[in-house]
Amino acid sequence: MQEAKKLCIASDHAGWQLKQVVIGYLSSLDIYPDDLGCYSEESVDYPEFGKKCGEAVASGKYDAGIAICGTGIGISIAANKVKGIRCALCTSPEMAEFAAKHNNANILALGGRTTSPELAIEILNTWMNTEFEGGRHKRRTDMLDAM
């Protein structure tokens, strides 16, 4: 994700606070992701927002997305149901590096209840600043996309 790309971001209620942190941080870098919801801590269903983020990226309107729920698990499962999405739940910068480098993850999932804001920013920076290596990994991501 090296150069500035068009991003979207979505969360459920449990990811809403971390989403605000991520949006604020990205804004400080002059990156303004489109917020696809939710818009408060009022209870909502994470599959709706994972699907919304996945469909937005798969449509080509966005180059990449960020999806956040309580643990990142549910919303990543939902996003990955959309054909063409490679959503990676990352809990460390190392995971984010390989998600970008080897899996060409087009959505980063984070856990709002399990990831501190500081760690989330480290993970986000790593994911955004790591290039896909292609090569043998391209063959594998093509296989994933064909499923």
Cβ pair 45, 77 in contact under 8 A: no
Tell me the pLDDT tens digit for each residue of 39-68.
Answer: 999 999 999 999 999 999 999 999 999 999
Q: Is 38 a catalytic site residue?
A: no
Query: Residue 147's pLDDT band (boundaries 50, 70, 90)?
Result: confident
Q: Is 31 among the domain residues?
A: yes
Tell me the pLDDT tens digit for each residue of 103-139.
Answer: 999 999 999 999 999 999 999 999 999 999 998 999 9
Query: Residue 5's pLDDT band (boundaries 50, 70, 90)?
Result: confident
Cβ pair 79, 97 in contact under 8 A: no
In this predicted structure, what is the pLDDT of residue 2? 46
Q: Is 87 among the domain residues?
A: yes
Q: Is 8 a catalytic site residue?
A: no
Q: Is 2 among the domain residues?
A: no
CATH number of the domain encompassing residue 39? 3.40.1400.10
* Number of domains present in the structure of the chain: 1
* Domain range enclosing 104: 7-146
8, 53, 69, 90: which is the annotated catalytic residue? Answer: 69
Tell me the pLDDT tens digit for each residue of 9-26.
Answer: 999 999 999 999 999 999
Q: Is 1 among the domain residues?
A: no
Give the global pTM: 0.95
Q: Is 53 among the domain residues?
A: yes
